[in-house]
Amino acid sequence: MKKIKKISILFITLSFVMFSCSSDDEGSPSSSNFGDFDLTVTGDFEANKSGFADFDGLDAFGSQTWEISMNDNNPSTVSLQFMLFSAIGDVNQPSPGTYEIGFEANSDSVFTAIYAHIPNGSFSETVEYSTLPHSEDMNYGGTLTITTSTDGRVSGNFQFTAAKTDNDFNVVGEISVSGEFNARKRMN
């Protein structure tokens, strides 16, 4: 389980790094280079968030990842990733359709969701919620519906539940998230 938590932190870090390498100088969510999202959170906290959304794939170190990433700024208060990850097979941009959100190792069709709640833009206070497995009797997840999937744009909607765990991997919190997105291809 500790390995899974380290992997989720690695994915968040990679997402921030990949976004920060973007070539857009304006940094505005309304810029034509960025997509957008709107979401609602209930559970441990309540929030309505919006910001920019992008997608990209990464093939590195013998593994492949494809993700949709959503972030806000000024200040940064949310980072949400939907990821496909495989260390043994190909992961390609999905076609329109409805996909499961949850966790399946080395899957090219089951998305893992990781929601980082960043209170008041303070990264040191970040709280992570995910659909990674927490225990055998608790399943977290939902659905991601992709309505458009082209080289430059992926759009759709989502709804899922995710858990927060303590250092011993006991579930200590839960959120439900729903929303829609219009993501643009990440500018590298």
For tokens 């280079």, name the residue.
Answer: 33
Confidence (pLDDT) at 22: 39
pLDDT at residue 137, rounded to an integer: 63
Which helix (H) or strand (E) element contains residue 11? helix 2-20
Q: Tell me how far apart the alpha carbons of residues 111 and 11 are, in angstroms, rounded to a whole number.
A: 13
Beta partners for residue 145, in sequence order: 98, 157
Tens digit of each residue's pLDDT, the chain (188 residues): 444 444 444 444 444 434 333 333 333 334 456 899 999 999 999 999 999 999 999 988 889 999 999 999 989 999 999 999 999 988 999 999 999 999 999 999 999 999 999 998 889 999 999 999 876 667 799 999 999 999 999 999 999 999 999 988 889 999 999 999 999 999 87
Position 23 scores a pLDDT of 37
Which pairs from 105-113 meet CB under 8 Å and 24+ separation? 108/84, 109/84, 110/84, 111/82, 111/83, 111/84, 111/144, 112/8, 112/11, 112/82, 112/83, 112/84, 112/85, 113/80, 113/81, 113/82, 113/83, 113/141, 113/142, 113/158, 113/160, 113/162, 113/177
Q: Which two tokens stand for residue 171?
A: 């579930």
pLDDT (0 to 100) of residue 162? 97
Per-residue confidence (pLDDT) for residue 136, from 0 to 100: 65
Q: What pLDDT shows up at residue 169?
A: 85
